[in-house]
Amino acid sequence: MPVNARTEMVIYADDIILWDHSMKPECACRRLQVAVDGLANWCGSRGLRMCADKCSVLKVCKRTRGYTNFVPRLLLSGSAIAAVDRMTYLGVLFKPSGKFDDHIARTKMRAMQRLGALRAFRLSRGAWFRVFNAMVLPVLTYGVHAWYLYEDRDKHVDVLKKVRRRAIRLAYGLGFRTELSDAQESSLKGLSEVLEKIISGWQVIFESF
């Protein structure tokens, strides 16, 4: 597929992401437009159609100085692609700041909702932990590759650890603010260790390509 030297592309199933970076956002925008045009032509020559209504463009910039008012403008076959202030891709929420605070908050909320649903069942402690590992832990760890290697990693992990501690208290029938003993803390695998294992496994797979 036609993509220039500075613009990169990733494809998952029928989802395509194009991205470019530059100290001058207008330059990145021009290169992206060339890439979009080339991709649209490539698809058209093969009987495929791209729909602007299902596309969006997000500006990500940690340094807001000078770029605050810049709005990326891209066209797909003459139709404007909507500029958005947040974008969800494969379940991960991206923001213009490049930070994942909102994604982590949403992840915590979803995990807590699952914990709340599980409270209705009378499970033994062992069953509770097995159900947690099967139904809640995947929610906490999904999309970890997007945010775990960034600067706010420890802060994000601390937020998600609250879900794990809540699960332990529920399994032991403890109050919400009850301090956990070392034995109780060790009832479930530490979240940091789980995340590290996922990341290390992902890096091994990535390096093998």
105, 69 in Cβ contact below 8 A? no
Residues 6+ apart with CB under 8 A from 32: 7, 18, 19, 20, 57, 72, 74
Lowest mean pLDDT among 1-15, 17-31, 42-56: 1-15
**What is the identity of the amino acid at 149?**
L
Per the model's pLDDT, the better-predicted residue between 56 and 200 turns out to be 56
The region of weakest confidence among 45-49, 126-130, 134-138, 198-202 is: 198-202
Task: Identify the pLDDT of residue 209.
Answer: 34
pLDDT grade, residue 185 (50/70/90)?
confident
For 73, the enclosing helix (H) or strand (E) is: none
DSSP state of 48: -
Q: Is pLDDT of 151 > 80?
A: no
Q: Look at the chain and count its residues.
A: 209
- Domain ranges for the chain: 7-89, 99-207
Taking 60 as the threshold, does the pLDDT of residue 1 lie above it? Answer: no
